[in-house]
Each structure stands twice: as C-alpha cells, then as structure tokens.
Amino acid sequence: MSSLVKCPHCGLRPREEFTIRGEVTTPRPSAGADEAVWFDHVYLRDNPRGEHREYWHHSGGCRRWLVLSRNTVTHETSKVVDASTLKTEAGA
C-alpha cells in the first residue's frame, strides 16, 4: 500500500499523485546574484534528520501547491497546508 497524504482540498490521496518540489526554508537569491550562489540554491541541499517543511505539488489532483511538514526519518506527515497561506501566516 502506498503512503497517503491528506490534501486540504481533496482529502486522503496516494503519495504518487504528488510531486516534491523542494524545501520551504531556502530563500531565493536576488536576480543579480552570482552564478555560484544560484548553483548552490538550485543543486545543493541540506539533508536534515527529523521535521522538515517541503513544497509539494498535487499534480494528480487539485493542482494546488502545498507545504508538508514531514519527518525525514519516519516519513510521517504531521501537517499539510495550502502554500498560499504562507504569506498570510508571515503577516506579509
């Protein structure tokens, strides 16, 4: 049986409907940043142990961007929110 992800729009869905797009905590470099800075941003990532937030795209369902809080050791998902709420939570 595949892992299930609780989409806030579609309910419990198989993990195969989603595409992982990267960690939330990585700030995007400025447009004029050096090529080495962009290389690091695109290709180099930490591999944290424990709780981690990632952007996921529900490509096989509602097509919304989501933010999953997931444990990288156990693969358990503790929280799933629509990515559009991030600006609201940050107060921007």
Contact 29, 44 (CB under 8 A): no
On whether residue 46 sits in a domain, the answer given is yes
Q: What is the CATH number of the domain that holds 13?
A: 3.30.2270.10
Beta strands in the chain (DSSP E): 4-7, 11-14, 19-23, 51-57, 65-71, 77-82
Number of domains within the chain: 1
**Residues 44-81: tens digit of each pLDDT:** 877 789 999 999 999 999 999 999 999 989 888 999 99
On whether residue 33 sits in a domain, the answer given is no
Strands 77-82 and 65-71 come out as: antiparallel
Task: Read off the pTM.
Answer: 0.74
Domain limits for position 50: 4-26+41-90
On whether residue 31 sits in a domain, the answer given is no
